[in-house]
Structure 1
Amino acid sequence: MAELSLNNIVKRYGSFEIIHGADLDVKDGEFVVFVGPSGCGKSTLLRMIAGLEDITGGELKISGRVVNDVEPADRGIAMVFQSYALYPHLTVEENLSFGLRMNGNPKADTERRVRHVAEILQITELMTRRPKQLSGGQRQRVAIGRAIVREPQVFLFDEPLSNLDAELRVQMRVEISRLHKQLGTTMIYVTHDQTEAMTLADKIVVLRAGNIEQIGAPLDLYDDPANQFVAGFVGSPKMNFLRAEVTGVKAGRATVVLTGDKTVRMEVPLSDRSVTSGAEVTLGIRPEHFGEAGQGEADLTVAVDVAEHLGNTSYIYANFGGEQLIIEQPESRNLGKTETLTVSLPAARTFLFDTAGKRLR
């Protein structure tokens, strides 16, 4: 078991800085997920923890020990990559035991560990097969098993499910979650998949352009995003954003008018007292938070482009003043491409951001 501490971690390639002073504490036994768009630095940060990338600046501690200059093999870490990286000429049993045998681990202990891992991952019947005889999900189990058998202090996962089809991804998410509960080991997981992040994590770290934008529990980030980037990135389908203008500010509330239709006017709570009348803002609302017409502070009528029916839920893809919206409806509706839909905006469910993405409420 282990806890990790990242203090002002920096990564540069020459004069180009990739990670700009990352600070993060990971508790013993915690499941932490790094999310962010491509190129944000999440895999680079993971590889620095693993020791596969040098740390340019800052301090990395594992269980209180500074490991900046410690070799990867001596950090007590095991990593599962996007590619399975199995030896094609070896059986499953030989793949699982390879690292232990190369390190001179006693034969009896190696056999014990391999049997234990095979039971945990339910791959006992696959032990004599070679990788080409396994499905994608089975190969991923073996790759994870090869990490478990080392009995590391920390598991690192770098987008391990990206090569699997949708059904297998769901299955493996359940397996990894079950595995974490069973082992109780500290895990750090990199993904771009919102569902993986929301369902697996104890704590999510949202990165953008080498900076940590927000850290928190999944539902805390979903309900209380720090800025417009986090609000738009966390959640699937993503939050809707509507251009608006502040026309008045009084007693901690702002009156805003939607740019797409200036007849749509509403009052919203305001926590930033520096906002003044005439300011351009963005109003955010999640797809499931639209209300029925007449039940919010303002109604808006949208032109329906596509209705996606998913049983007891429908997603309405619509246009409002040139802006694209996704509206979740609790039941299927027979809406054609030329029809309109009127919904309400409940002020308590909306967010307000300035032009730089700073949250105003």
Structure 2
Amino acid sequence: MAELSLKNVVKRFGSFEVIHNASLEVKDGEFVVFVGPSGCGKSTLLRMVAGLEDISGGEIRIGGAVMNDVEPADRGIAMVFQSYALYPHMTVEQNLGFGLRMTGNPKADTEKRIRRAAEILQITELLDRLPKQLSGGQRQRVAIGRAIVREPRVFLFDEPLSNLDAELRVQMRIEIARLHKELGTTMIYVTHDQIEAMTLADKIVVLRGGNIEQIGAPLDLYDDPANQFVAGFVGSPKMNFMAARMIGKSSGSVTISLVNQGDVQLTLPIADAAPAVGEMVTLGIRPEHFAEAGQGDADLAVKVDVAEHLGNTSYIHANVANGEQLVIEREESRKELNRDRLIVSIRSSRAYLFDGAGNRLK
């Protein structure tokens, strides 16, 4: 079994703390993705699991055993890096088997593992080639194959697709999903790419400034974000945010007025203790949740800046009266979208409300 557990894990560089009491439970066979902006600590956390960074506090367990002082080679993990890190003078076959041969693994078993990895990744015909004779996608397959032959308990991926072009990223994303389905091994994957996180993960861990902001299934985080940061980070295009002011409260609901939007008011069902009347709050709405004019609870006039047509879906980049930027998703004729102004409507049931500290009000 390859359960992974982090309990109050801390990482300091000198007096500077970069990971703050991170706790996480990963089930055997689960695919977990770490996401967050640059510098949030996601790669540092992954390297701590791998043993490439010492931990300053807390506990890491793999399969129930404490790993704090265990050498990387003895943790039962295999890591795939952003750079392919292949030996340029070795063939694909030699690159795949190098680690096993260095540890004295029996020749027959090494060859068997190489053949199996090559078949899984569909690189059998490339075994005699040198890395310089491979495409970027093929090199990444070899790097993944080098991890597969070790038969680890846990796979660790550190932004493995970031050096590939858009088409190859899609192809390799599908390959990694298929690999997880076939092997059923625990996988931890670091990325800043929203699509990779949403499509690959069983569970997403959202980090900011060394803190875990929220953990959950992709659609749970998308539909039920804990705070404004998670709401704005999970999803592409990101959630729209508009400044608003509390103008009324009653049992189970609040009424807000959009700042500088005239008489645009909206009543939302809120059970939490809400800010006082007069306090500033933030209204959030995803691009696809704007309704047609008159079909929601509050209409809003926007000035169209740019309309991006992507086939059956279009994204309207628009401005509202106070200069706030909105992205509106539409599935309608291109002719109707090519105009300077548009009226959209907000449904209270599809809107989110956040207090001044960014906490979600429900």
TM-score normalized by the length of structure 2: 0.98
Q: Distance in 2 between matches of 1:44 and 1:225?
A: 24
Q: Deviations over 1:24-75 (max 9, x none)?
A: 0000000000000000000000000000000000000000000100000000
Q: Letter of the 2:325 partner, please give it.
A: Q
**Superposed CA RMSD:** 1.0
For structure 1, list consecutive stretches of 5 or more residues without a partner in the other structure. none
- Do the aligned residues in 1 keep the contact of 2:249 with 2:277 (CA within 8 Å)? yes
Distance 2:252 2:3 in 1: 42
Q: Which residue of 1 aligns with 2:89?
A: 89
Partners of 2:194 and 2:164 in 1: CA distance: 16
Q: Could you tell me how far apart the structure 2 residues matched to 1:59 and 1:285 are?
A: 39
Q: 1:345 — aligned with what?
A: 346
- Trace 1:74-153 onto structure 2 (pairs within 5 A): 74-153=74-153
Equivalent residue number for residue 354 of structure 1: 355
Asked if structure 1 preserves the Cα contact closer than 8 Å seen for 2:154 and 2:185, the reply is: yes
Distance 1:53 1:332 in 2: 54
TM superposition shift of 1:332? 3.8
Corresponding position of 1:69:
69
Q: CA deviation at 1:338?
A: 6.3
Tell me what 1:261 maps to: 261
Provide the rounded CA distance (Å) in 2 between the counterparts of 1:187 and 1:149.
15
Q: State the secondary structure of the residue aligned to 2:349.
A: helix
Aligned equivalents of 1:311 and 1:223: distance in 2? 25
State the shift of 1:260 in Å.
3.0
The equivalent of 1:333 in structure 2 is 334
The superposition leaves residues 257-308 of structure 1 with CA deviations (integer Å, 9 ceiling, x where unpaired) of: 1003131111111122242211100000000000011011100010000000
8 Å Cα contact 2:313/2:331 also seen in 1:
yes
Q: Does 1:57 align with 2:79?
A: no
Q: Counterparts in 2 of 1:115-264, with a 5 A limit?
A: 115-264=115-264
- Give the 5 Å matches for 1:270-289: 270-289=270-289
Does the residue aligned with 2:39 lie in a helix, a strand or coil?
Answer: coil
- Deviation of 1:333 after TM superposition, in Å, equals 2.5
Change (3 A) 1:240 1:274: closer
Q: Verify the 8 A CA contact 1:298 1:345 in the aligned structure 2.
A: yes
* Residue of structure 2 equivalent to 1:320: 320
Kept after mapping to 2: 8 A contact 1:6/1:59: yes
Q: Indicate the SS of the match to 1:334.
A: helix
Counterpart CA distance in 2 for 1:137 and 1:188 is 20
Query: Residue type matched to 1:2 in 2?
Result: A
Distance 2:194 2:333 in 1: 24
Which string of whole-angstrom CA distances, capped at 9 and with x for unpartnered residues, describes residues 151-172 of structure 1? Answer: 0000000000000000000000
Identity over aligned pairs, percent: 76
Q: Deviations over 1:303-358 (max 9, x none)?
A: 00000001111000000121000000012433677610101000000000011101
Residues in 2 aligned to 1:123 and 1:359: alpha-carbon distance in whole angstroms = 48
- Partner of 1:300, secondary structure, is strand
Whichever residue aligns with residue 341 of structure 1, its letter is: L
User: Counterpart of 2:199 in structure 1: which amino acid?
Assistant: T
Matched, 1:6 2:6: yes
Is the 1:48–1:54 contact (alpha carbons within 8 Å) kept by the matching residues of 2? yes
Counterpart of 1:20? Answer: 20
Structure 2 letter corresponding to 1:155: F
Q: How do 1:292-307 and structure 2 match up within 5 A?
A: 292-307=292-307
Question: What secondary structure, in the 3-state scheme, does the structure 2 residue paired with 1:238 have?
Answer: coil
SS at match of 2:307: strand
Q: Secondary structure at the match of 1:276?
A: coil
Aligned partners of 2:272 and 2:337: how far apart in 1?
41
